[in-house]
A and B are shown apart, each in its own frame.
Chain A
Amino acid sequence: MISLTNLILVFLIGSIVSYLLTKANKILGSIFNFLLISYALYVVWNIKVGHEEVLFRILRDVERTLKVTNLGKYFAIVSLIVISFVAFFIIEWIRKKDIKPAAFNSFLLLMVSGILGVFFSNDLLTLYIFWEIAVLGSFLIVPMGKKESKRAAIIYVVTSAIGSYMYLFATFSIYQRYGILSFEQVSQYLANDSSNLFKWFVILFIASAGIAKSGIFPLHTWLRITHGNAPDAFSAVLSGQLVKMGSYVLAIALSVFPTTQLFSSFYHGVPLLNYVLIWLGNISILIGTFMAIRQNDMKQLIAFSSIANGGYILVGLGIMNSIGYAGGLFHVFNHAIAAAMIFLSFAAVVYRTGTTKIDEMGGLIWRMPWTFVTYLVGIISLAGIPPTSGFISKWMIFSSLVSKGMFITLAITFIGSVGSFLYVFRPLAGVFLGQLKRKHSDVKEVPIIMLVPMLLFVILTILIGVYPKPVLDSIVSIENEVGIKAIEHSGTIIKTPLGQWNTLTVFTMFSVGFIIAAILYMIFPKGKKVDLTDQYTGGEYLYNYDLYHYATGFYRFIERLYDKHPSFEKLYEKLVSFFRYIGYFTYKLVYKTSPSGYVFWITIVILILFWVRW
């Protein structure tokens, strides 16, 4: 078995190889990418927990080591599943794209090497280094998308930098104070530290990297712009994987430095710091849900839903009891899979139609049925409806919130959950159902290579929904590792103090219900199949059925209620224009187009120089 250090090196070298291969042949390079990432998945899957190896030394007395923890392994496996499926999707997708395929493939591998390092690094500084490698790789891919995507990339990297520099600041503060960086030692030192302020500062600043990355309020604005404008298939990686890196840092900040032990309880066993983070999660859920309802661009819609789901994960992790933490971790898996599925199906739609505006499409189910199935199962999981896996995590989060008595958070998670029915239905109705647009009448289903990963995601979601044992097992081992009471489960039955449920019974009963309905359907007279244009129109004749499709302003009646909402995006825009104005002012002051201006400034400078007798 290859060592982790070598695996990361292989990826770094592989990114150059991939560049050359893709230059020679697009498909060859993509296949190489897929094989390499699948190999990494294979290695990570089989790696033993507790395995440790030295990476390099820079600081005195401090070894940079890589260590496999249950937490890191779980995140790495989820990430690599998503990325390897997307890499398979890209093999066909990249053929038709006018992006630079060689650079795309090379940066993808660069990003994966960073991700592997992040999840297996054993100390704060190594994590930071690999974090920046991952950000660099993804940052270079984002501008290959739409016209606006160059600006998107800048916003992405600036927001990410805010978080990661705060993280770095906390890291160096720790090093200055204790002289150590590895997670275990830091958590020991922190537990013995008497300064509450320092503990607050360290954990909040470390968490801020996660907040920036997983799109939690107040650093959520980059998601809409970046996810909406990145290359279509890469949006799946962004939302399905890179955002989860943020959740990983949040999980570390909350559980590896166990906040419940560092701080005293504030409300039913939840420390104030966790409570603050949970409230950030709450605000993200509200923003994500209500803004997603408004969107007409399907990719931006799901980007906002990623904000809301990031909030869910933070709420789950923040509660830090056995069920809530497990719910948060399970939600990482669910949202990774669901978001990747949805973005892949959107990539397929854009691949054939070339637009992301919901009201420019319609009735694509009659042309792209399998893409529709992927999207459907994806949204069922995203909205948290049984029998898919999405429900399990939401149920855990709800249960733990009820048992903690956190009713306002609970109400907000309910709003997020019911609101998700609303926003996921908008693309379903606007893009896939309804009247087929005339200009899309000869659209075809995407090639089989693109369908395979999409349908594998479908199978995976339903499989884990019916038989969640594999995921639950790894969550149990994570909880044992970080010292939280592990959840009880026996294969398909999940137990909480509030009661239990059996995924298999629910699935069986659903199948039985469906069979009963199907029998009723069969025994009564068969319906006559009519065209989509045979509609009740109040007796009116229509010739342009493109217009007989309700997709514009789908939820206008509720959008109207919060048209004048406060917008953080606008606030940041104002901040940007303020700085731009200052820059412009300085520019105007200093740079003159006329020679007299230069002469004036030169004279002033010379006078000052003489005055200080330099």
Chain B
Amino acid sequence: MSTNERSIWEKIADQLRSKSLWMLHYCTGCGAIELPPSMTSRFDMERFGMGPMATPRQADILFITGYLSAKTLRRVIYTYEQMPEPKYVIGFGSCTLNGGIYYDSYATINRLDYYIPVDLYIAGCMPRPEALLEAFNELMRMIRKGEANGWKRYKENYEWYKQNQLRSLGEVFIHDEFHE
């Protein structure tokens, strides 16, 4: 991929980024329950320099647990676009991968990757904290290697993503808080 070339500064920066990942968790699905054990004393996420953040402005990872309904998807896209670059997305659980048990629901989306670029999926329903930590380690490796390029993909294929988003969400005719 052409976007994979990095300057020396970028390489150093990527090393740092991989060791200090701040996470914004978007927890509308049931997978959120797996986060507390991975943060607290049993698995202790902080030893990798990871921690939760309150706002998208400071976050590096957008962590999406479980299904996204069409309404929440709009918020996720909004939040994703507010994050500073470089930014990474982790899809947690089968729901983000292929819809999971909601595969035939009219209200949820099936594949997150159509709408925002996902760097890493964690499959399972639900994945255990061990799987979560494994995924984080994998993401760190990817960042160090310069393979976690979702944000670049999003910029390059912005038209395509926007098209998908529009197709799924439909156009909004009345612009106010209740219709979007």
Q: Indicate if A touches B (C-beta under 8 A).
A: yes
Instruction: Mark the stretch among A395-403, A532-540, A591-599, A604-612 that contacts chain B.
Output: A532-540
Give the contacting residue for A540; candidates B55, B56, B75, B175; CB below 8 A. Answer: B75
Identity of the chain A residue whose Cβ is nearest the Cβ of B28 in the assembled complex: A539
A-B Cβ contacts below 8 A, count = 19
Residue of B nearest to A542 (CB): B177
Chain A's closest residue to B85 (CB) is A528
Check: B98 CB closer than 8 A to any chain A CB. Answer: no
Chain A contact residues, majority secondary structure: loop
A541 interface hit (Cβ, 8 Å): yes
Q: Tell me which residues across on chain A come within 8 A of B56, comparing CB atoms.
A: 536
Q: Tell me if B48 is interfacial: C-beta within 8 Å of chain A.
A: no
Q: Does B69 contact A (CB under 8 A)?
A: no
Tally chain B residues at the interface, Cβ within 8 Å: 13
Interfacial chain B residues near A540, Cβ < 8 Å: 75, 177
Nearest B residue to A535 via CB reads B82
* Pick from B57, B79, B175: contact of A539, CB under 8 Å: B79
Q: Contact partner of A536 among B55, B74, B76, B180, CB < 8 A?
A: B55
Which residues between 40 and 80 of chain B lie within 8 Å of chain A, taking CB atoms?
55-57, 74-76, 78-79
Contacts of B78 in A (CB 8 A): 539, 541
Instruction: Please count how many residues in chain A sit with their CB below 8 Å of the partner chain's CB atoms.
Output: 7
User: Is A543 interfacial (CB-CB < 8 Å)?
Assistant: yes
Smallest CB gap from B56: residue in A: A536
Identify the closest chain A residue to B72 (Cβ): A539
CA distance A407 to B44 in the complex (A): 50
Give Cα A541–Cα B82 distance, bound, in whole angstroms.
Answer: 13
- The reply to whether the CB of B176 lies closer than 8 angstroms to some CB of chain A is yes
Q: How far is the CA of A536 from the CA of B54 in the complex (A)?
A: 10
Assess the A543–B175 pair: CB atoms within 8 A: yes
Distance in Å from the Cβ of A545 to the closest Cβ of chain B? 12
What mask results when residues 506 to 541 of chain A are scored 1 for a CB within 8 Å of chain B, else 0?
000000000000000000000000000010100111
Chain A residues with Cβ below 8 Å from B57 are 536
Known: A536-B55, A536-B57. A541 touches B180 (CB 8 A): yes
Structural contact, B82 and A543, CB atoms closer than 8 A: no
Interface residues of A (CB under 8 A from B): 534, 536, 539-543
What are 8 inter-chain pairs, A to B, with CB distance below 8 A? Answer: A536-B56, A536-B57, A539-B76, A540-B75, A541-B177, A541-B180, A542-B177, A543-B176
Name 16 extra pairs, CB < 8 A, besides A539-B76, A541-B180, A543-B175: A534-B82, A536-B55, A536-B56, A536-B57, A536-B82, A539-B75, A539-B78, A539-B79, A540-B75, A540-B177, A541-B74, A541-B78, A541-B177, A542-B177, A543-B176, A543-B177
